[in-house]
Amino acid sequence: MTYSSEAVLGGENLAKLEALGNPHVVEIVEKYVKLCKPAKVSVITDDPEEIAYVRQLALDNGEEMRLRMEGHTVHYDGYYDQARDKEHTAVLLPPGHRLSRGINTVDREAGLKEVHDLLDGAMKGKEMLVRFFCLGPTGSRFSISALQLTDSAYVAHSEDLLYRSGYEQFKKLGGSDEFFAFVHSAGELDERNCTKNVDKRRIYIDVIDRKVYSVNNQYAGNSLGLKKLALRLAIYKANHEDWLAEHMLIMGVHPPGRDRVTYFTGAYPSACGKTSTAMIPGQTIVGDDIAYIRMDDEGNARAVNIESGIFGIIKDVNPVDDPLIYKALTTPRELIFSNVLVADGVPYWQGMGRDDIPKRGINHSGEWWEGKRDAEGNLIPFAHSNARYTMRISELENADPKVNDPDGVVVRGIFYGGRDSDTNVPICEALSWEHGVYIGATIESETTSATLGREGVRKSNPMAIMDFMVVPLGRYLSNHIKFGRRLRNRPKVFATNYFLKHEGRYTNEIVDKKIWVLWAEGRIHGDYDAIKTPIGYLPRYEDLRRLFKQVFDRDYSEEDYNLQFSLRLDKLLEKIARMEEIYRDEPDMPKEFWEILNQQKASLSALRAETGRSVLPPSFFL
């Protein structure tokens, strides 16, 4: 019997599509129904009943399981599908185009053929969900419409938590093709409803046609088109226009005893403190992952969170270090856990602060027991270190009142940080906007379980966005410099480092990030003086001592201050040497980058020669 895409699509679904008045949408849906050959198609509008159908479908087909807590479910990705797959994620590159180091590319025509071959019949026996979302608040000049086709109800349910419904928004396009489109199939599934053919996992980004293709995977970082895959499309769009698409949190900082809120964005590689910074107690969250930033009529940088939810790493979320997130995870609400241990309907994750972790249960490997090993002989932990949670920001106690403001928030400060055990100080203010871009460009981070591969390797990750870069890096950095110069009110830029160690132990506590953030906020308003050094402005001891006492009622010793804020000249110069090596062959780098690098190198080398020391305390620069 010949497969009939028209019969499967059906009159009711087609009517919903035609009501959009957009032939481009109809064409895309019809093309991929015919190619993927689903047994059923459901076009989902903004109707709450239709959205509830998707959530129930995820339960009915076994992609999610109910947990004991009301509204909580759990999803398991396959054992070998637990993180972003960099190796098989690639930009489809037309002939004559080039990208920077470390960016995987595939010839566009060859890549399209490969992924379409993999998608051919990939949805046989399954249901295709056609979804419409809005990246950013609806009715905003920031926002971009997004079309998602998927055979995974878990993916679609996750996107309902993470993004704003966009069916009605599509009607406002006036038939334009100015939207992003995403085609995803989990592919053939095993008895646990997990992807079987992970060796054929492909995630291909076509920036020319504004589409992303993803097949043979379920982990959200590979399958949720609107998340990091849409970020890639937005980066390409922003860098050909006049705005920024960034891998950044957005938060409101509220200093104690003062009636004001100051908004920051911040870029951190995965598992380096981005979500926990956005969730610092006493502050408010607008977003924890992706920001679109544009200049307003007054010359301010304004930012919106394109998401309305959080897909956060759950490892080490505990009631002491992350009380707001922990409370949200342990109270009733619509929430999806992924790749945690479940025993008797209760989820358990690494670092949750409990001593009564069960010895048996279900996890990402299936039935689990203490001492279980995988096919390679490796011990399987009770929960994966990249286990996640997905929930709506609006349900958090610290959700900012402007989380859905179509005008966004005025950005007064920017944080850049990585996982750095031996070089950078905990907080440092850039000497200029250009220096701030340099700070972002030289982010390094020691790798974690958020990406496939070996942990603990130091890697360069400019602006914490290299994994998602789809334009030449030199162009991207130059656009940052130009964007800032157009602003009349430039944000101050700060480097942060929560992971500095001494003799194998962290030099600060996890909660101390609150002090560094509050100091930065005070600098924006002129509340604190600072010590000028070659690497930037450092806090004064007395200011930090008062903040520690005021916020934590804790004594902060000068010994700790000197340990944390001394300039490690050897380490800083080693980092500069690494940056020289990394960027030496990068074409079209902005001249400002090299001017700042050479100036820092000369200053730090002179200090080491003058003092004969490798470490200088902040008092040296007073």
Picking from 150, 206, 129, 167, the residue whose alpha carbon sits closest to that of residue 48 is 167
DSSP string across 336-394: EEES-EEETTEEE-TTSS-S---SEEEETTEEEETT-B-TTSPBPPSS-TT-EEEEEGG
Candidate list 36, 194, 272, 428, residue with the active-site label: 272
SS3 of 161-209: HHCEECHHHHHCCCCCCCCEEEEEECCCECCCCCECCHHHCEEEEECCC
Question: What is the spatial distance between Cα 284 and Cα 467, in angstroms, rounded to a whole number?
Answer: 28
Q: Which residue has the tokens 């035609």?
A: 18
Do 224 and 129 touch, CB atoms closer than 8 A?
no
Q: Is the dihedral of CA 519, 525, 531, 534 positive or negative?
A: positive
Exposed / middle / buried, residue 585 (Cβ in 10 Å: 0-12, 13-18, 19+): exposed
Q: How far is CA 44 from CA 13, 15, 54, 549, in A?
A: 9, 12, 8, 53
Exposed / middle / buried, residue 431 (Cβ in 10 Å: 0-12, 13-18, 19+): buried
E strand or H helix at 571:
helix 569-583
Do 78 and 198 touch, CB atoms closer than 8 A?
yes
Pair of tokens at residue 193: 């409803």
Picking from 294, 523, 278, 496, the residue whose alpha carbon sits closest to that of residue 409 is 294
- The residue type at 310: I
Pair of tokens at residue 209: 């046609």
Q: Phi, psi at residue 66, to the nearest 5°?
A: -70, 145
Do 396 and 280 touch, CB atoms closer than 8 A?
no
Instruction: Specify whether 272 is catalytic.
Output: yes
Q: Could you give the residue numbers annotated as active site?
A: 272
